[in-house]
Amino acid sequence: MRVGAIIVAAGKGRRMGAGKNKVYLEISGKTVLQRTVEVFENCEIVDEIVVVTDDILLCKENLKGFSKVKTVVLGGETRQKSVKNGLDAIDCDIAIIHDGARALICEEEIIKTIESAKKYGAAAVGVKSKDTLKKINKDGFIEKTIDRDFVYNIQTPQAFLYSEIKKLHEETHEEFTDDCALYESVGKKVKIVDGKYDNIKITTPEDLQVAEKILEKRKNK
């Protein structure tokens, strides 16, 4: 089955306060986007990469030399519309969708997500919640404690049978927080793939510092 990766990198990154898209900031000598795309580039079972951006020329310049990046397309007004633009530009059987700002993803998680999507139709990387979770009422009082053994923090990548996720994006008139929520909205199930807590989404200046430390730790293993 042909696998296409959609890297969503069209955000403005206002919380970073850098005056430019955060994916062009550097971590240990490479941009966030370069580090993200590099993992998919080096993954043997990924055939093609489409990057969704807010600046096509800058993005192409930043990704020179990546042979699997077949297309760079403009993003939409929302993340969901950006994903749809990426889906419209790719030709594959399995679409794996990933946040451009999650530069610390490992090839192992990419492969497990793709293989699970082939088997179950949809899969997403997630980690078990470390915190005790409470359900509260409208007045801000706790109603009950939620069993955290059944609660995951969902990350990306998220992978789907291409024909199914593309059809859902074309037909929906609602906005969802991620592609799993869109998939779930029509009663379909998503298989969870155990990920790593260091697959952080780089959003703030502090995240850049954390990412540097994670890369240093990996290097010294």
Report CA dihedral (180, 182, 75, 215) to the nearest 10 degrees.
-10
**DSSP letter (8 states) at residue 66:** -
Residue 61, CB-side half-sphere exposure with 13 Å CA sphere:
5
Secondary structure (DSSP) of 110-156: HHHHHHHHHHHSEEEEEEE--S-EEEE-TTS-EEEEE-GGG-EEEEE
Q: What is the pLDDT of residue 107?
A: 97
Give the pLDDT of residue 20.
Answer: 77
pLDDT in tens, the chain (221 residues): 999 999 999 976 666 666 678 999 999 999 999 999 999 999 999 999 999 999 999 999 999 999 999 999 999 999 999 999 999 999 999 999 999 999 999 999 999 999 999 999 999 999 999 999 999 999 999 999 999 999 999 999 999 999 999 999 999 999 999 999 999 999 999 999 999 999 999 999 999 999 999 999 998 87
Query: In the block, which residue shows the tokens 């089955």?
Result: 1
**184 φ, ψ (degrees, to nearest 5):** -65, -30
Contacts of 55 (CB under 8 A, 6+ apart): 21
The answer to whether residues 1 and 118 touch, using CB atoms and an 8 Å cutoff, is yes
Please count the other Cβ atoms lying within 10 Å of the Cβ belonging to residue 182: 22
pTM given for the model? 0.94
Q: What is the pLDDT of residues 141-155, one digit of tens each?
A: 999 999 999 999 999
Sign of CA dihedral 125, 94, 27, 23: negative
Q: Which two tokens stand for residue 147?
A: 């069993």
DSSP 8-state class, residue 185: T
Provide the token pair at 73.
């397309």
* Crossing angle between the packed helical segments 107-120 and 32-41, to the nearest 10 degrees: 60
Instruction: Please work out, in degrees rounded to the nearest 5, the angle formed at the alpha carbon of residue 48 by the alpha carbons of 180 and 120.
Output: 35
State pLDDT tens for residues 119-131: 999 999 999 999 9
Distance between CA 75 and CA 81 in Å, rounded?
Answer: 7
